[in-house]
Amino acid sequence: MAGVLLCITHSVSAASQQPNIVFLFSDDAGYADFGFQGSKTMQTPNLDQLANEGVRFTQGYVTDSTCGPSRAGIMTGRYQQKFGYEEINVPGYMSKNSAIDGAEMGIPLSEVTMGDYMKSLGYRTAFFGKWHLGGTDELHPTKRGFDEFYGFRGGDRSYWAYEVNDPERKSAMFYDKKLEQGMGQFAEHKGYLTDVLAEKANEFIEKAPDKPFFIFLSFNAVHTPMEATPEDLAQFPQLSGKRKEVAAMTLALDRASGAVMHKLKALGLEENTIVVFSNDNGGPTDKNASSNYPLAGTKSNFLEGGIRVPYLIKWPAKLSPGTTYDKAVSTLDLLPTFFHAGGGKKTLSALDGVDLIPYLTGKNNNDPHASMYWKKETRAAIRQGDWKLLRYPDRPAELYNLANDIGEQHDLAAEQPERVRKMFKDFFAWEMTLERPLWLLKRQYEVYDLDRMDKYRVPSKLEN
């Protein structure tokens, strides 16, 4: 699988039936911070309409609780630990400047990406926004299956253009924050970046709407820095501080998502376009005042608040509107879903995700995943059915039944020793299939161990 050029043949008539695919992807959003997730505070009319017109997953998961590893799983359809992408977020400037010997930190060139798969089916492919999957030119989006790129290589940046005399420009980390059109063509934008990314996506759609396209629209909203337009802030007079800022940033995210969906409708493309919305990990409640209620935990730990995310899919030509799907699914499933929907016939046995369409149309009534896994060094989790086991490096494991304890408040490990033993055994068997981590970042860089912070053990309900 690794490094193999995918050779797919398809007729012109078959290509004309290929659905367009738009993946709307937010960053660090809270599980509860959307109207379709129950929020009464956030204003997300466009994404709420997407939920009403498509399928909402009540148990959607990512493969890691931090940005980079989660994205690596999505981009390859494989557990990122299988190719050594296990550690925390990758700063591209470090790889570029050889701060860590021999490290080109990002998705290895041996891996086939979502862009590669869709391009092999004849799709025009584009990536807009936050990349965060490798900072060197060899790991650039335009070298990983995407025809066009407009965005930045690192994990965060300002939503406003950097002025010439901005002191941040003098930092080595500014390498990760530069906006690029293509590779190496740096040009600051005009306006608020969330809106600009949607404009770039719409320009790509307009270039050749008669040809199938795949867009990965990777917003940096609502990741820090906390920056919003005055107009958006004014829509939330009842809020203050970071909570007001994240509400305004979410409003902009929704507006930008709506702009792309409105473009599809205006061009008559809506019926046969797959639109997906999801998020990279749980909200970091202390940093951007996001809410993961009723889940315990946050970004960077394996409690539900760190790994369960909002998740929507709409495909009017195939899927019934206004439905919910209650079995556990993963963002690993997006790649095989897109590939098979686009006409791919190849069996993707090397992938860990599944094609979701048969499950959503009722052709397959089984659980999409018998087991789901999370791992970062010695911290780990496994889910089987409604049962979830958490492994820690410094204290006994915990066991929860998510069917009646979504907030993970009642540890049943002492009452279920045989189940704990079996789940440990199953996890060890999976763990033996993994590669060693390709890099281990030094501890002066941002590392979390929020599992141990008691305040994250209890769901915190903000103005919702």
Both tokens assigned to 450: 């929020």
pTM exceeds cut of 0.85: yes
Beta bridge partners of 21: 214, 274
Contact 98, 89 (CB under 8 A): no
> pLDDT at position 159, please?
98
36 to 53, 54, 83, 194, 405: CA distances (angstroms): 11, 11, 35, 21, 21
423 to 35, 329, 385: CA distances (angstroms): 36, 19, 11
- The confidence band for 7, taking pLDDT boundaries of 50, 70 and 90, is very low
Domain 372-456 sits in CATH at: 3.30.1120.10
456 to 305, 378, 399: CA distances (angstroms): 9, 20, 17
CATH 3.30.1120.10 boundaries in the chain: 372-456
- The confidence band for 170, taking pLDDT boundaries of 50, 70 and 90, is confident
Both tokens assigned to 210: 């008669």
Candidate from 193-197, 307-311, 348-352, 399-403 with smallest mean pLDDT:
348-352
> pLDDT at position 5, please?
41
Contact 6, 346 (CB under 8 A): yes
Q: What gap in Å lies between CA 58 and CA 275, rounded to an integer?
A: 17
Contact 305, 58 (CB under 8 A): no
**Phi, then psi, of 206 in degrees rounded to 5:** -70, -20
Q: What gap in Å lies between CA 249 and CA 223, rounded to an integer?
A: 9
CB atoms within 10 A of CB 48: 18
Q: What gap in Å lies between CA 128 and CA 178, rounded to an integer?
A: 13
Both tokens assigned to 342: 């686009």
Evaluate the CA torsion angle 75, 80, 85, 88 in order and state its sign.
positive
Q: What gap in Å lies between CA 2 and CA 202, rounded to an integer?
A: 32
Contact 376, 392 (CB under 8 A): no
> pLDDT at position 197, please?
98
179 to 109, 196, 219, 276: CA distances (angstroms): 23, 11, 13, 25
Contact 51, 310 (CB under 8 A): no
pLDDT in tens, 222-242: 999 999 999 999 999 999 999
Contact 145, 116 (CB under 8 A): yes
455 to 270, 363, 381, 450, 459: CA distances (angstroms): 44, 43, 20, 9, 8
Alpha-helical regions (H) of 179-240: 193-207, 230-233
Q: What gap in Å lies between CA 278 and CA 27, rounded to an integer?
A: 9
> pLDDT at position 445, please?
37
Q: Identity (one letter) of the amino acid at 233? A: L
Q: Is the pLDDT of residue 104 over 50?
A: yes
Contact 167, 106 (CB under 8 A): no
Q: What is the DSSP letter of 182?
A: S
Q: What gap in Å lies between CA 383 and CA 402, rounded to an integer?
A: 9
pLDDT in tens, 345-394: 988 889 999 999 999 999 999 999 999 999 999 999 999 999 999 999 99
Q: Is the pLDDT of residue 449 over 80?
A: no
CATH (one of 3.40.720.10, 3.40.630.30, 1.20.120.1200, 3.30.70.260) for 19-360: 3.40.720.10
Of the candidates 327, 338, 414, the one whose C-alpha atom is nearest the C-alpha of residue 372 is 327
